[in-house]
Chain A
């Protein structure tokens, strides 16, 4: 069973289009995250949700709108796609939003969605 899954795995689209990436976790976690890995391979946190509420928003353009219909899902919708949005997007989840020192702090990452904007 896949712990954190993302769809689609690959997404190729034209500039200006609107697209969504879906993420689901079956680990029973309360907290979910979106990260972006650009062409230089730097991974940056974008958003974090805890129990469907936004708790971290790392100054991401408002063209990016995360939506959490329930604790197990965190989708990412991107409006008016730009060339610079091309990257690999990773979803992750953890038990809770705060560091506590135990294995509950571990973040589980999905396989990534490679977005290419032409």
Chain B
């Protein structure tokens, strides 16, 4: 299973954009890049995922490097509710999520 590397923690101010980086230099051609987040005392929650092209949804945007060895989750305007642990996960054929340590995002008012 290919591994991902994320910063342990990041901070942001409310209503500012947040860019959460993820390195995955050993990604294979069939690996999808998934992002999930876990709010305190809750189960993980899907954020976004993609394969090669950048993706947008109502929660966030996913920017994928051309060589696919890194990606960035973009929260356009952070809110207090976005404070969570964000996980960048590679998943190949089977939809099997291997969670790492993730990035703990703190959002300040």
Interface residues, chain A, CB within 8 Å of chain B? 4, 31, 35, 41-45, 48, 55-56, 90, 92, 94, 96-99, 101, 105-112
Contact partner of B44 (CB less than 8 A), chosen from A42, A48, A90, A105, is A90
Can you list, as one digit per residue, whether each of B35-57 has a CB less than 8 Å from chain A (1) or not (0)?
01010001111100111000000
- Chain B interface size, as a band, is 20 to 34
CB-defined contacts of B34 to chain A, threshold 8 Å: 105
By secondary structure, the A interface counts as strand
Is the pair B95, A107 in contact by a Cβ cutoff of 8 Å?
Answer: yes
**Distance, CA A109 to CA B38, complexed state (A):** 10
Which B residues lie at the A interface, using CB under 8 A?
A: 30, 32, 34, 36, 38, 42-46, 49-51, 85, 87, 91-101
A6: nearest chain-B partner, CB-CB: B43
Q: Within 8 Å CB of A96, what residues of B?
A: 95
Least CB distance, A30 to chain B, in whole angstroms = 11
Return 18 A-B CB contacts under 8 Å, by A number: A31-B95, A41-B85, A43-B87, A48-B96, A90-B44, A92-B43, A97-B94, A99-B32, A99-B93, A99-B94, A105-B34, A106-B46, A106-B49, A107-B46, A107-B95, A109-B43, A111-B42, A112-B43
